[in-house]
Structure 1
Amino acid sequence: MTNQEYLSNHFLIAMPTLADPNFAQTVTYICEHNEEGAMGIVINRPIDISMSELFNHLGLESDDETAAQQRVYMGGPVQRERGFVLHSAETVWEATLKVSPAISITTSRDILDAIAQQEGPKQYLVALGYAGWEAGQLEAEIAENSWLSGPADASIIFEHNSNDRWQAAASLLGVDLSLLSTDAGHA
């Protein structure tokens, strides 16, 4: 793939036929994609952990009820004990990768400290784990019709209800997932 064909700052939208329980009906935001592989965060799988519980686990105090009630997400099947924060890109933290002008990803604890103290980014999604692909693996899965891909939109990550993100991401491409055939073909 050339640089222009890499899918950083794109959504991977699981096709309705994708049966892998880790990825069925998911939207994955691709944070990094190059000749060595790809890494992304699933953005529509909230888990039964609140930010309040995460703050307590990390020994952080927070009076921010809005933040405390937010859900943590299952970002993918790799390193599920590791935290990732997708967020609006107005601030850089210790370990921040700016994926696009609007979206960054941070893996350092300082961002969670800031969120707990109401000094964090305007918009964020906290996930445990990530989705990863070896060199050529993602390209092969796309060729097998496991995924649709298209440019990401920050509003889908940060403003849509998690239950609506799968169809909303597909709608960016003009696709209604309920109308797709389960038969695949290649010309």
Structure 2
Amino acid sequence: MVPSKKLSLILFFACSIFVQETLAEVICESLPTNLCSFAIASSGKRCVLENYQNEQGNLDYTCKTSEVVVERLSGYIETDHCVSACGVDRKSVGISSDAFLSSEFTARLCSPACYQNCPNIVDLNFNLAAGEGVFLPALCEKQRVNPRRAMLALLSNGGGAAPGLVAVDSSAFAPASAPTPF
């Protein structure tokens, strides 16, 4: 990436965070459910969408604050552009590493539109991948060079993925100690 373009992206990202933080405090429990997933409260804790059975016996949704802290993105609500570019769904309840088994999901996550512009979604998936023994920057490089080989590496025991990918409840998700690729 050209240094001036990279600097422009960094400045844009910094300004967008500043504007969000100066306009209003983000409180997960106050967010509408269609903005909950991929939001981070002003406290720095991730927001999670949870479902419950309402008084009429129907399935309903609420936004809650998790215990997972994101250090650099407090008060951040992911843009619709990033949700679309990264191929994620705001109606997701919990998260699962099974998404990495979809070559379409991995291709969208690793695309420049997502990987270089959507730090919250990338950070969440970086940590999820790390929990499965996969280094997301290496997976994305393999995806860029040879998508079929990336999937083979992910599926093989020697490719950095833990055998038997499992579903993870997002409220129990802890960030990896490795720094994100930004």
Q: Which one has a larger percent strand, Structure 1 or Structure 2?
A: 1
Same fold flag (TM > 0.5) = no
Under TM normalisation by the shorter chain, which class is it?
A: under 0.3
- TM-score where L is the length of structure 1: 0.25
Q: Which has a greater percent of helix? A: 2
TM-score by length of 2: 0.26
With a CA cutoff of 8 Å and minimum separation of 6, indicate the structure with the bigger relative contact order. 1
